[in-house]
């Protein structure tokens, strides 16, 4: 009964994330169409690769006729941050949860899903994570498919507006826990400012976007851990 309750709670919590994913992946579907991908190819890609930056980069490489090696290295660099997120998330899961089921939870770790999971009380139920995945993965995949099929119908202004939905949705995910914890709110503001500085710093123009995120994550999380250490449970 508890597992069922957590599963459906995950679905409810994942509904706004799924809606944001649908809007953004619709724009991605248009890129796929322009790169020559058909709806089935877009569907498979989105079902197994839940990352907007990774898929957008992959579509660009496909369109330019890049090699498999270029694709592999590109995806590794862009998605390295999910290793960090998964490492941080593992301590929030039950210690009795076997590796096989941890891997299932980790399959759908994205920026937004991580924010949803990390804001829950410990230990985070694996069924809550399954509920999030069940509603968000189809939303992402459906958006790409419909973007490939109907992308040319919508005017460019509407497509551009859809791409903003993900940022609005992510803001809605992080604001509630930030309002409850001033330290978290401060860390969010510092992270935004650091990201802004890093983006326009001429010395960092040779660093990829994925690597910038990794560097900022390591530096800021290490600083937060030193300033506000969390006592381990005995």
Q: How confident is the model at residue 66 (pLDDT cuts 50, 70, 90)?
A: confident
Average pLDDT in the 70-88 region?
82
Average pLDDT, the chain: 83
Q: Where are the domains of the chain?
A: 2-175, 181-234
Q: How confident is the model at residue 163 (pLDDT cuts 50, 70, 90)?
A: low
Of the ranges 70-79, 81-90, 152-161, 196-205, the best mean pLDDT one:
81-90
Q: How confident is the model at residue 131 (pLDDT cuts 50, 70, 90)?
A: very high
pTM of the model: 0.71
Residue 46's pLDDT is 92
- Compute how many other C-beta atoms are within 10 angstroms of the C-beta atom of residue 184: 16
Whether residue 218 is predicted with pLDDT greater than 90 in this model: the reply is: no
- Compute how many other C-beta atoms are within 10 angstroms of the C-beta atom of residue 47: 13
């Amino acid at each position: 009964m508890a597992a069922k309750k957590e599963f459906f709670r995950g679905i409810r919590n994942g509904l706004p994330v799924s809606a944001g994913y649908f809007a953004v992946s619709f724009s991605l579907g248009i890129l796929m169409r322009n790169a020559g991908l058909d709806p089935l190819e877009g569907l498979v890609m989105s079902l197994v690769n839940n990352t907007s930056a990774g898929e957008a980069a992959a579509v660009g490489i496909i369109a330019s006729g890049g090699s498999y090696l270029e694709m592999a290295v590109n995806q590794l660099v862009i998605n390295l941050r999910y290793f960090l997120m998964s490492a941080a998330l593992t301590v929030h899961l039950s210690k009795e949860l076997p590796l096989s089921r941890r891997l299932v939870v980790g399959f759908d770790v994205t920026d937004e899903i991580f924010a949803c999971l990390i804001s829950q009380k410990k230990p985070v139920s694996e069924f809550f994570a399954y509920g999030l995945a069940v509603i968000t993965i189809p939303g992402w995949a459906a958006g790409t498919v419909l973007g490939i099929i109907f992308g040319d119908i919508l005017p460019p202004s509407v497509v551009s507006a859809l791409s903003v939905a993900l940022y609005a949705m992510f803001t809605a995910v992080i604001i509630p826990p930030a309002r409850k914890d001033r330290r978290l709110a401060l860390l969010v503001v510092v992270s935004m400012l650091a990201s802004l500085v890093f983006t326009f710093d001429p010395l960092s123009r040779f660093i990829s976007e994925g690597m910038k995120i990794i560097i900022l994550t390591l530096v800021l999380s290490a600083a937060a851990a030193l300033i506000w250490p969390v006592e381990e449970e005995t």
